[in-house]
Structure 1
Amino acid sequence: MAGTEHLTVRREGATLVLTLDRPEAKNALSLPMLVGLYDGWLEADADDSVRSVVLTGAGGAFCAGMDLKALAGKGMAGEAYRDRMKADPDLHWKAMLRHHRPRKPVIAAVEGPCVAGGTEILQGTDIRVAGTSALFGLFEVRRGLFPIGGSTVRLPRQIPRTHALEMLLTGRPYSAEEAARIGLVGRVVPDGKALETALGIAERINACGPLAVEAVKASVYETADMTEEDGLAAELARGWPVFDTADAKEGARAFAEKRPPVYRRE
């Protein structure tokens, strides 16, 4: 499995669990974390036995954003990984899901701070669960910075523009309850239960036909900016082939026989 000193990887059945693991810094982004994240996304895409991904953080935090000490010129942990960054200057954007979209569903399990770069990574995930005390926000403007991880483009497409602009322009923190109210996260659960809930959602996804799941996710994203007419045409092109798969036949057969389906990605 992929993984680095700041990013742990483990399997829970058909789910790949990626954990941002730098709790002493509230999981602020580091070179080892970014490299580990990108390798994790690649592993999930390449392994057909992986049907979903859960992204979470260690130590009661999700991600406090970029390590500002590094931006101040004081260096960043993980010098050994700089060759990876030099070889692929886009790696950090892929790691943060700015320039990469995994084909498997990605579920975020958020506890504690999920701010700045944390909120930016969050926007690249598909389903989001937050503990009651989770905290969100894009603080960049308060530091004279720009949220260049994609938020000025993505956030107004994911939540109402008035809420997106307030978050972007004030740099204020948002509670989990408010984040859910404006649509940034889908569920708020008791503290300490975000990962358990996310894994439960993943298990439901894993029980579905993987070819169908991946086609549905792809269709949602590829039609997002199309006209309704073009989107419906693209949906047909994406969806009809699913009906011709052995998995589709297995799903119908299992329903008739009143048993769980056995999908083989065929």
Structure 2
Amino acid sequence: MGGTEHLGVRREGATLVLTLDRPEAKNALSLPMLVGLYDGWTEADEDDSVRSIVLTGAGGSFCAGMDLKALAGKGMAGEQYRDRLTADPDLHWKAMLRHHRPRKPVIAAVEGYCVAGGTEILQGTDIRVAGQSATFGLFEVRRGLFPIGGSTVRLPRQIPRTHALEMLLTGRPYSAREAADIGLIGHVVPDGTALDTALEIAERINACGPLAVEAVKASVYATAEMTETEGLAAELERGWPIFDTDDAKEGARAFTEKRPPDFRRH
């Protein structure tokens, strides 16, 4: 199990919990954090015992965006990781879920600030929970910058275009309730309980057949830009083989025998 000085990694049963851990900077993205995130996504993809991922932040914040000084400055924290970025110039985009989609479900547990790059990473997650005092927003235009983490492409596909454009073009902050109302997040919970709620959702996912869960997630994203006819055909191609797995047979047996299923990815 990996991790860096700015990214904590731990297991909660079949859930891999990744914690952005730079609270003194409201978990602004740094090179050690990006390397840790990339390694975390890779670990989850490669370890079949991991069935879900929870992404959260330490110290009452999720992520306040990119720390440009930490990424560009020489002799600053994380310099020892720079060879990783040199070896894979795309690493930071994979870490931010711009150029990588984990095959396991990713649940975001948000407290406090989730702005700029934080809101961009959020768009790469699958299920989103936030404390009631959380703050969202894409502030880049207020600084004369461009939200290049994918927001001009993803956000209008995830929420109504009028709301996406208002968020992108005004750079204003959004409360958790506003974010839920426009569909950016799915749950608003009391402050301090987002992680607990996310872990509860993860546990429900973990109790399901992992081959089925991963195939369902893959189908949702793979068919998103297809016509309905194309999507339905692709769904059958991906979904029918699941019915021939040992896990599918075990699910039926467990239902008949009134016991929890023992799924083994076969």
Equivalent-residue separation in structure 1 for 2:71 and 2:98 (angstroms): 19
CA deviation profile, 1:231-258 (whole Å, cap 9, x unmatched): 0000000000000000000000000000
Q: Contact 1:69–1:75 (CA<8 Å) still a contact in 2?
A: no
Q: Cα RMSD over matched residues?
A: 1.1
Instruction: Sort the Cα spacing of 1:259 and 1:72 in 2 relative to 1 into closer, same or farther, 3 A.
Output: closer
Aligned to 2:240: 240
Cα drift, residue 74 of structure 1: 7.5
TM-score (norm 2): 0.98
Q: What is the percent sequence identity of the aligned residues?
A: 89
Equivalent-residue separation in structure 2 for 1:80 and 1:68 (angstroms): 17
In the TM superposition, what are the counterparts of 1:251-266 in structure 2 within 5 Å?
A: 251-266=251-266
Aligned to 1:172: 172
Q: Structure 2: any 5+ residue segments left out of the alignment?
A: none
Q: What stretches of structure 1 move > 6 A for 4+ residues in a row?
A: none
**Matched positions, count:** 266
My pick for the range that moved more, 67-76 or 196-205, is 67-76
Aligned to 1:2: 2
Q: Contact 1:156–1:165 (CA<8 Å) still a contact in 2?
A: yes
TM-score (norm 1): 0.98
Equivalent-residue separation in structure 1 for 2:191 and 2:91 (angstroms): 32
Cα drift, residue 2 of structure 1: 1.3
Equivalent-residue separation in structure 1 for 2:2 and 2:227 (angstroms): 39
CA deviation profile, 1:43-85 (whole Å, cap 9, x unmatched): 0000000000000000000000001434786875210000000
Equivalent-residue separation in structure 1 for 2:126 and 2:17 (angstroms): 15
Q: Contact 2:64–2:118 (CA<8 Å) still a contact in 1?
A: yes
CA deviation profile, 1:104-162 (whole Å, cap 9, x unmatched): 00000000000000000000000000000000000000111100000000000000000
Q: Secondary structure at the match of 2:107?
A: strand
Q: Contact 1:38–1:95 (CA<8 Å) still a contact in 2?
A: yes
CA deviation profile, 1:155-182 (whole Å, cap 9, x unmatched): 0000000000000000000000000000
Aligned to 1:118: 118
Aligned to 1:223: 223
Aligned to 1:186: 186
What is the identity, as a one-letter code, of the residue corresponding to 1:205?
I
Q: Structure 1: any 5+ residue segments left out of the alignment?
A: none
